[in-house]
Amino acid sequence: MHWCCRDKSIDLSRPVVMGILNVTPDSFSDGGRHANLEAALQRAERIAAEGAAIVDVGGESARPGALPVAEAVEIARVVPVVAAIAARLKIAISIDTSKPAVMAAALESGACIVNDIRALQAPGARACAAQFRAGVCLMHMQGDPSTMQARPHYNDVTDEVSAFLRAQIGACTAAGIAADAIAIDPGIGFGKTLEHSLKLLRDLPRLAALEVPLLVGVSRKSVISRILGKDIHERLYGGLGLAALAVSGGARIIRTHDVGATCDAVRCVSAVLQGSEH
């Protein structure tokens, strides 16, 4: 399996890691730490050195309760970072945004993937991705970041998330996005209670059966705190456990803040599942 993202073909015969690079002042885990260009570039270099295949650059926080950021502000945050990474590193660059103008600016600057928590539903988003032949990741979210945790409800969360993602895959291919450019994300913690997230993690094989690469992000999320009662910076081991579970359930891409440790965990689980080190 390969994820075709513009001029890059990401080999998913074994699971890969996507390292998170937030260039926002208010992200839930590392807000403000990489807000200047040099700090962001150093973080990207670390992500690549620790073994990630993809760096995911985000200029707008999606934490629960987060408010929208103006398009121009988001572009000003992410474009210099994307351009600097593209000039210095060979790592695949993902832009974490829902705004078509931000997608286009980042893709023009060297990104090859659009990672969208709103699954390219904004007017013009699918056309933008198709025009650039970008890889895309379609995430499920009930509501939006400012309200998503108010009162999430599902009759069957796995059925509903699966149906939504299947519909968005169809909408993307109809818009001219190649099937081998599409990945999906169930959106753990995005408009879900703890019980919803746990059921989705148990049911990952059902989502993997949609026959496009499955991305899972659990790093430092509140689901870990709800289970362990740990502070945000004490969630590494819980996150590694859930990442290993996700790989065993069929995930091909693990999105994380903790790149080196996650790469080690993913590599070990993959070796067991495939019966070889390489």
CB 145 within 8 A of CB 191: no
From 99, 192, 220, 255, active-site residue: 255
- Is 46 catalytic? The answer is no
From 220, 221, 235, 252, active-site residue: 221
* 184: CB partners within 8 A, 6+ apart: 137, 138, 139, 140, 165, 168, 169, 207, 210, 212, 213, 214, 215
> Between the CA of residue 48 and those of 91, 122, 134, 215, what are the distances in Å?
7, 31, 20, 18
The H or E element containing residue 10 is: strand 8-11
CB 254 within 8 A of CB 243: yes
Distance CA 112, CA 96 (A): 11
CB count in 10 Å sphere of residue 89: 17
* 53: CB partners within 8 A, 6+ apart: 10, 16, 17, 18, 91, 92
Phi-psi region of 128 (alpha: psi -120 to 50; beta: other; left: phi over 0): alpha
- Is 199 catalytic? The answer is no
DSSP 3-state of 116: strand
Burial of 33 (0-12, 13-18, 19+ CB in 10 A): middle
- Residue 3, phi then psi, degrees to nearest 5: -105, 110
Q: Which residues are catalytic?
A: 221, 255
